Amino acid sequence: MAQDPLISVIDDDESLRLATSSLLRSMGYATEYFANAEDFLGSGDAARFACVISDIQMPGMNGIDLTQRLMAADGDSKVILMTARTEQELHERARASGAVCLLLKPFEAERLLRCVGEALVM
């Protein structure tokens, strides 16, 4: 039997982290979640995740820096970034980082699931 794709959810907002993980699990994905990028990186082999969903603004390493680090280590990383910030320059940096999608909070569940689907077929 094939194992469900493992998806990481990284966000310092606990309620969003738990809600996103719960939605993904209800759709058949396995999830692990982390409060920040450093906890994620310290959890072991990042390559075991089929997709990483990360907030951009977090204490410590931000989501754009995490994406760039993952892309430098493995150019095949699938990252979805999310933010509530509206600055165009930030959105441009996020898109240039190699992320598959940029989700603007609040986002619809269907939009998240489309981004995950995109990431997993790449």
**Domain range summary for the chain, segments of one domain joined by +:** 6-121
What is the per-residue pLDDT for 113?
97
pLDDT along the chain (122 residues), means of 10: 81 97 96 97 91 97 97 90 96 95 96 96 86
- The residues pairing with 8 across neighbouring beta strands, listed in sequence order, are 32, 52
Residues sharing a CB contact under 8 Å with residue 13, sequence separation 6 or more, in sequence order: 55
Q: pLDDT tens digit string along 89-116? A: 999 999 999 999 999 999 999 999 999 9
CATH architecture of the domain covering 6-121: 3-Layer(aba) Sandwich (3.40)
What is the per-residue pLDDT for 122?
80
Query: What pTM, to 2 d.p., does this model score?
Result: 0.95
| In contact, 70 and 79? CB cutoff 8 Å | yes
**Which residue, among 30, 91, 5, 6, has the nearest Cα to 56 in the 3D structure?**
91
